[in-house]
Structure 1
Amino acid sequence: MNQAAATRADEKMILAGDIGGTNTRFGLFRHECDRPESVATEIYGSSSLSSLEEGIERFLQEHPARISAACFGVAGPVIKGVCHVTNLPWVVSEARIRERFAFEQATLVNDLLAIAHAIEILTADDLMVLQAAEGDPDGNVAILAPGTGLGVGFLFNIQGAMHPVASQGGHVDFAPTTDLEISLLQTLRKKFARVSLERVASGAGMLEIYRTLRATRQDQGSCGDAIDVSDTSSPQEITRRAVEYGDPLCVETVRLFLRIIGSAAGNLILMSMATKGLYLAGGVLPHVAPLIREGLLLEALLDKGRFRDLLLRVPVYVILNQQTGLLGAARLAVKSLNLRR
């Protein structure tokens, strides 16, 4: 038995999970400090698992440990300890997990609630600064997370204490602001009964943008070397070709995607008075950092007429640390232990 495994056998650990439509992450953490210390992590393709229970069992077989508490952030609404995962055919039950694995403490939360619990312990190394601003210490915080789907969360400032709140804000209506976005909406209305923001501001949404732009270029006879969008890895291929090769159609796709994200982020700040800060999370944006730095996303965020000056005073960050959801879930698990003492 190696030293790390021996350490896990001798002490109780926190088990954290971050379950998304594409990836399912698990981690073991020590919980002596405010920022839980990562001991072991794994990433599994969500489609390779039949259930969250299968993922937990697989992870604990690879990393045996005594678990003091567990917490899992899941991409979907959690109601009375149960979640029908939005972009997976899973029904996850907090009680069922607790019973199957004999965990003394197990908590199921929305994935954005988990991320919100990690915001206060992120460091400069975890973030890319899009807009350096002082912010309002008495304001709220908003989180927008484009990944397989689109997550939205908040930290509301109540008498100086920050209170994380989950939401299903990614499923509000898509509100186009340019002629190109109106054309995109008109195209998608032929395909979907309702076009939510998630339909365009997510990995799947990036595919829809690409398809729409490609069809336009084909009509104009200027499509070029188009990607096969039946491939489920196509969002990653689009971002790779945009960043590494400057593929014109992929670059145009990502730029439109970033404008839509920016506009939605500005709306989110205004709706929640998130004057303390906006955090952009999720798995998509770190891969397109060079295009983000062009400024299209930030300019779309600021393009709110009379409220531009207010938005200029809000710090804006991209979260680069892809373990943020795990950190937040681990922190929640620690808090659940402390409440029992």
Structure 2
Amino acid sequence: MTAHLKSGSVTGAAIRGLVGDIGGTNARFAIAERKDGKTKLAHFKSLETADHADFYAALTAYFEQIGEKPGFDYACVAVAGPVKDGAIKFTNLDWEVREDRLAQVAGAKTAKLINDYAALAYCLPHLAESDTKTIGPVKTGFGDVHAVMGAGTGFGASVLVGGPYGPYCLSTESGHISFAPVNDYETEMLRFLRRKHGRVTVEMMLSGPGLVNLYQAISSIRGEVAEDLTPAQITHLEGEDAQGCRYTVEAFLDILASVCGDLALAHGATSGMFIAGGIAPRLIKHIDELRFRARMEAKAPLAGLVASIPSSIIIHPYAALLGSANALTEHQILA
């Protein structure tokens, strides 16, 4: 699956790191141990951001919960947003984090902040076959470029380039490209949302809020009254009256597949497209694999190229932490 992306490693003593994954609601931490090309995660904890005044208070609480503050060779924390000059100020959270302060509070020799989808890209070489669910019959692509995309609170995407100088990650803001309908039904959705929001982006269709947008648009198209539903309610299809929600989930998965093919072309990800985020793994049982691949591959005149690209959903529970653990090379850590 990731044969072109194997990271080099130095045989010898273990390298210990503090790793984190910080979103608007949860701050997740673990301790990583890297040795001989393998990574183990231990002492995983998830803390609610609302319970802590800032990132450093949450980190201190984490050390208190695990009962120790071990020495670290490095600290690497994935954050939901762009990192600039070694710092991030969250847009949906009143926290600011700096690499120099992170190193000081963690007691780490080296500290790095990375985008959360960069962390997901860096995890790709370290995923086992059981950590993903392949959609469709294509198992192996070609070349050295993989991409990961996903829908959660927002929509993110990043690219991992392998080869002799890799792996190298390119973070993107692909969620903010314009949504492109591929049939009359989706054009009606676009018209509904354009009247409300003006420009309509991929993230406005493929995210938690995007599920609500789709549900409202589809209800309007069908001449039905839209209930005041949350994303979790929309994706819970076992209720007595889930008809409108089923249409919404169906449209969501169709658009997800179409965007998967678009980004495979835009990013040159011929080795494989991976889907992460909080929504897709919950919807695996609702995916019609033939339908998904048909939508993904409908990219004439390059349909044949996209048809050769594997598509998989990441089901590893701590993928961003695994990626954070491996985002820095051993040379960067030990230099």
Task: Tell me which moved more, 98-107 or 23-32.
Answer: 98-107
Aligned to 2:82: 77
**Following TM superposition, by how much is the alpha carbon of 1:298 offset from its aligned partner in structure 2, in angstroms?**
2.5
Aligned to 2:59: 56
SS of 1:109's partner is strand
Aligned to 2:321: 326
Aligned to 1:130: 135
SS of 1:327's partner is helix
Q: Residue 270 of structure 2 contacts residue 309 of structure 2 at CA under 8 Å; is this kept in 1? A: yes
Aligned to 1:65: 69
Question: CA offsets per residue over residues 106-150 of structure 1, 9 Å max, x none?
Answer: 210011111111101101110001033254442411111111111
Kindly provide the amino acid, as one letter, of the partner of residue 34 in structure 1: G
> Is 1:91 matched with 2:86?
no
1:228-267 equivalent positions in 2, closer than 5 A: 228-229=228-229, 234-240=230-236, 242=237, 247-267=242-262
Residue 60 to residue 320, structure 1, CA distance change in 2 (3 Å): same
Residue 94 to residue 292, structure 1, CA distance change in 2 (3 Å): same
Residue 247 to residue 15, structure 1, CA distance change in 2 (3 Å): same
Aligned-residue CA RMSD (Å): 2.5
Residue 297 to residue 329, structure 1, CA distance change in 2 (3 Å): same
Aligned to 2:302: 307
Task: State the alpha-carbon separation in 1 of the partners of residues 47 and 190 from structure 2.
Answer: 34
Task: State the alpha-carbon separation in 2 of the partners of residues 294 and 276 from structure 1.
Answer: 19
Gaps of 5+ in 1: 1-10
> Is 1:211 matched with 2:216?
yes
Residue 158 to residue 215, structure 1, CA distance change in 2 (3 Å): same
Task: State the alpha-carbon separation in 2 of the partners of residues 65 and 118 from structure 1.
Answer: 25
**Following TM superposition, by how much is the alpha carbon of 1:313 offset from its aligned partner in structure 2, in angstroms?**
0.9
Task: State the alpha-carbon separation in 1 of the partners of residues 88 and 152 from structure 2.
Answer: 18
TM-score by length of 2: 0.86
Task: State the alpha-carbon separation in 1 of the partners of residues 125 and 212 from structure 2.
Answer: 33
**Following TM superposition, by how much is the alpha carbon of 1:290 offset from its aligned partner in structure 2, in angstroms?**
1.2
Kindly provide the amino acid, as one letter, of the partner of residue 235 in structure 2: T
Count, aligned residues: 320
Bigger share in helix: 1
**Following TM superposition, by how much is the alpha carbon of 1:88 offset from its aligned partner in structure 2, in angstroms?**
3.4
Task: State the alpha-carbon separation in 2 of the partners of residues 261 and 336 from structure 1.
Answer: 36
Task: Identify the match of residue 19 of structure 1 among 19, 22, 40.
Answer: 22
Gaps of 5+ in 2: 1-13
Q: Residue 188 of structure 2 contacts residue 221 of structure 2 at CA under 8 Å; is this kept in 1? A: no
TM-score by length of 1: 0.85
Residue 84 to residue 172, structure 1, CA distance change in 2 (3 Å): farther
SS of 2:109's partner is coil
Question: CA offsets per residue over residues 174-204 of structure 1, 9 Å max, x none?
Answer: 2222223222222222333432211111112
Task: State the alpha-carbon separation in 1 of the partners of residues 38 and 201 from structure 2.
Answer: 35
**Following TM superposition, by how much is the alpha carbon of 1:58 offset from its aligned partner in structure 2, in angstroms?**
2.0
**Following TM superposition, by how much is the alpha carbon of 1:56 offset from its aligned partner in structure 2, in angstroms?**
1.5
Q: Residue 31 of structure 2 contacts residue 43 of structure 2 at CA under 8 Å; is this kept in 1? A: yes
Task: State the alpha-carbon separation in 1 of the partners of residues 149 and 333 from structure 2.
Answer: 29
Residue 51 to residue 187, structure 1, CA distance change in 2 (3 Å): farther
Kindly provide the amino acid, as one letter, of the partner of residue 260 in structure 2: A
Aligned to 1:283: 278
Q: Residue 21 of structure 1 contacts residue 149 of structure 1 at CA under 8 Å; is this kept in 2? A: no
Task: State the alpha-carbon separation in 2 of the partners of residues 59 and 238 from structure 1.
Answer: 34
1:103-122 equivalent positions in 2, closer than 5 A: 103-122=108-127
Residue 49 to residue 120, structure 1, CA distance change in 2 (3 Å): same
1:152-167 equivalent positions in 2, closer than 5 A: 152-159=157-164, 161-167=166-172
Aligned to 1:189: 194
**Following TM superposition, by how much is the alpha carbon of 1:277 offset from its aligned partner in structure 2, in angstroms?**
0.6
Residue 138 to residue 248, structure 1, CA distance change in 2 (3 Å): same
Aligned to 1:29: 32
Task: State the alpha-carbon separation in 1 of the partners of residues 334 and 42 from structure 2.
Answer: 24
Q: Residue 139 of structure 1 contacts residue 273 of structure 1 at CA under 8 Å; is this kept in 2? A: no
Aligned to 2:334: 340
Residue 207 to residue 312, structure 1, CA distance change in 2 (3 Å): same
Task: State the alpha-carbon separation in 2 of the partners of residues 280 and 248 from structure 1.
Answer: 26
Q: Residue 141 of structure 2 contacts residue 310 of structure 2 at CA under 8 Å; is this kept in 1? A: no
